Amino acid sequence: MNLRQSVKTLWPYLTKFKGRVFIALMALIGAKGATLLMPWALKEIIDSVDKSINPLLVIPALLLLMYGALRFASVFLGEIRDAVFSRVTEHAIRDIGLKVFKHLHSLELAFHLDRQTGGISRDIERGTSGLSFLMRFLMFNIVPTLFEILTVAIIFGTLFSVWFALITLPLLWWLPSGETALLEKQMLPTIKVIPVL
């Protein structure tokens, strides 16, 4: 399952809670915006310490407070994002687990007599925890990283040269393929162990 298929599978569960997903995305954008502004704040702090540019010591102190506020906003908005999105994840896990449970009950008796249904409940638990991991990974790792790379490319393109932006853009194609390969490697032991059981 690649990234596009994962998004297609999870999309109905994300649209069920549009408000929460929107708030989580806004918190994500705010946290990433604060993270991206921190280097600029440090630059301004260092520039303001130079006596020839700014003879007052008040401005560096205010800039230090601004840096601290940006740092706090980055962490705080990340926590808000986690808190708001957790309900979406839990409802998706519950809905998929219920769907699988109903499907198991609709199967004929021969299926249950031939197989150890206790092992199936363990597999359902693994599947729902895998879904939770996938939703959190997609929302909290892939999307923020793509947003950050795009923003940095835009900043490089406007402040420096288009060539700097073009250097960062290949990361957009490399990142999802690298993350997908990582997920496949993590799933490989599970795929090989289940048939043995």
Report the 3 state secondary structure along 11-67. HHHHHCCHHHHHHHHHHHHHHHHHHHHHHHHHHHHHHHHCCCCCCCCHHHHHHHHHH
Task: Retrieve residue 101's tokens.
Answer: 């449970």
Using pLDDT thresholds of 50, 70 and 90, give the confidence band for residue 197: very low
Residue whose C-alpha is closest to residue 126's, from 187, 195, 185: 187
Indicate the pTM of the whole model.
0.64
Give the integer Cα–Cα distance in Å for 91 and 194: 27
Residue 192 has a pLDDT of 47
Q: What percent of the chain has pLDDT over 70?
A: 76
Span 66-94, pLDDT tens digits: 888 989 998 999 899 888 888 888 888 88
Distances 59 to 42, 74, 181 between C-alpha atoms, Å: 13, 22, 48
Give the integer Cα–Cα distance in Å for 63 and 65: 5
Residue 76 has a pLDDT of 93
> Which residue would you say has higher pLDDT here, 4 or 54?
4
Give the integer Cα–Cα distance in Å for 127 and 194: 12
Ordered structural domains, the chain, with CATH: 3-196 (1.20.1560.10)
Give the integer Cα–Cα distance in Å for 143 and 134: 12
